[in-house]
């Protein structure tokens, strides 16, 4: 069992508590006295040193009131700036919608502006072309007036001239393509530069063959550096053409065509027969014509675009003399070329396949239509 406290112990505890409370109250009284003495001294010191102006005090009170009013106004504004969230969301949606609408409007206006700029550019170009057309019309009008004046002048000259006798009708034979008769040979005539050139390459070929073989024989070490590579074409042709090769009507130059040397013929400008010489019965051309037997030869006219007039003149003379003839039109870049033959070959020998099949003989081709 717990021990029961005695009355002496209870009295002793109460005394101790009362002592403590008295001590605390005493200390508080001392502090209060000291503070009041200090405040009083401070008030007396301020009152003795500073004189308060009633007007200034009233002004300070008014300023304090105004400051308080401003504080209330600011608080009210802050309260107004705290909107309802639902209203704020609605405001944002409306602003976005207006922004999209304005953007669409701006895009539409931008497209209209571009179209307007394009239309303005086209209008400027049309105005420019209109100005150019106006200048062209003025020039055409001037040219037309000049032409009309020339026509009037020519009509006046024609009216004053004597009437000409009517020319006889011109007989034109219709073409009749056919082969040449058996046993009749071809005699070539080249119509170029509105002249006619008798063309007989046989003598030029023979001369070129002899000269080329002699040139190779004398300079085999010069032109054949490697027997496996054969004759060097470029150097051989260059040396050959240093000497002139020509006949009465043409100059000939060698060129390489694969392994074969060939001749290209160019007409001599100082030679050839003009239309006047062709039509003159006593000309050298007609003497040569009469020396050609029409039963052994027919004429083949090679005609370039610049020589149709000369061809018609010589064809009329040949037809009148009873010669068979045909024509072969060619472009203006065409030139007559022919083979040379002989022992001269350029480059290495071709490799022969001993197992290659022999070519089958072809049937003879039908005769070409060389006459018209």
Higher pLDDT among residues 190 and 127, named by residue: 190
Average pLDDT over residues 332-342: 93
At 99, which helix (H) or strand (E)? helix 85-160
pLDDT band at residue 146, thresholds of 50, 70 and 90? confident
SS3 346: strand
Q: Are strands 336-339 and 195-199 parallel, antiparallel or unpaired?
A: unpaired
Average pLDDT over residues 150-157: 80
| pLDDT > 90? residue 195 | yes
SS3 323: coil
Question: What per-residue confidence (pLDDT) applies to 167?
Answer: 58
Residues in contact with 190: Cβ distance below 8 Å, sequence separation at least 6, in sequence order: 196, 197, 199, 267, 302, 336
| pLDDT > 60? residue 35 | no
- For residue 190, the cross-strand partners are 197, 302
Radius of gyration from C-alpha coordinates of the chain: 64
Q: What is the mean pLDDT of the chain?
A: 80
Question: What per-residue confidence (pLDDT) applies to 4?
Answer: 45
Yes or no: say if 243 and 211 are a contact pair by the CB < 8 Å rule.
Answer: yes
Residue 277: other Cβ atoms inside 10 A: 16
DSSP 307: G
Higher pLDDT among residues 86 and 234, named by residue: 234
Average pLDDT over residues 197-207: 94
pLDDT band at residue 91, thresholds of 50, 70 and 90? low
Residues in contact with 368: Cβ distance below 8 Å, sequence separation at least 6, in sequence order: 179
| pLDDT > 90? residue 270 | yes
| pLDDT > 90? residue 47 | no
Q: Which of 299, 303, 337 is nearest to 195 (CA)?
A: 303
Domain boundaries defined on the chain: 102-158, 185-339
């Amino acid at each position: 069992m717990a021990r029961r406290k005695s009355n002496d112990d209870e009295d002793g505890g109460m005394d101790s508590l009362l002592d403590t409370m008295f001590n605390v109250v005493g200390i508080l009284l001392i502090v209060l006295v000291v503070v009041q003495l200090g405040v009083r001294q401070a008030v007396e010191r301020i009152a003795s040193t500073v004189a308060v102006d009633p007007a200034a005090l009233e002004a300070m009170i008014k300023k304090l009131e105004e400051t308080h009013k401003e504080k209330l106004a600011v608080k009210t504004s802050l309260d107004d700036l705290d909107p309802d969230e639902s209203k704020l969301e609605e405001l944002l949606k409306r602003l976005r919608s207006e922004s999209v609408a304005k953007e669409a409007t701006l895009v539409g206006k931008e497209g209209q502006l571009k179209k307007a700029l394009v239309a303005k550019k086209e209008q400027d170009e049309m105005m420019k072309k209109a100005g150019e057309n106006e200048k062209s019309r003025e020039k055409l009008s001037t040219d037309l007036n000049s032409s009309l004046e020339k026509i009037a002048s020519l009509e006046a000259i024609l009216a004053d001239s004597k009437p000409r006798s009517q020319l006889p009708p011109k007989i034109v034979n219709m073409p009749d393509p056919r082969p040449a008769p058996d046993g009749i040979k071809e005699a070539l005539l080249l119509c170029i530069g509105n002249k006619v050139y008798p063309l007989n390459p046989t003598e030029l070929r023979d001369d070129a063959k002899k000269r080329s073989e002699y040139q190779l024989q004398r300079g085999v070490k010069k032109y054949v550096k490697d027997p496996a590579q054969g004759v060097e074409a470029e150097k051989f042709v260059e040396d050959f053409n240093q000497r002139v090769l020509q006949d009465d009507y043409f100059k000939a130059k060698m060129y390489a065509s694969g392994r074969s040397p060939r001749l290209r013929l160019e007409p001599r400008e100082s030679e050839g027969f003009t239309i006047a010489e062709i039509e003159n019965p006593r000309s050298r051309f007609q003497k040569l014509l009469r020396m050609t037997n029409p039963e052994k030869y027919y004429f083949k006219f090679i005609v370039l675009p610049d020589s149709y007039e000369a061809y018609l003149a010589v064809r009329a003379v040949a037809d009148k003399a009873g010669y068979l003839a045909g024509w072969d039109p060619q472009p203006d870049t065409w030139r007559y070329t022919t083979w040379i033959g002989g022992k001269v070959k350029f480059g290495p020998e071709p490799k022969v396949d001993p197992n290659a099949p022999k070519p089958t003989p072809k049937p003879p081709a039908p005769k070409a239509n060389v006459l018209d």
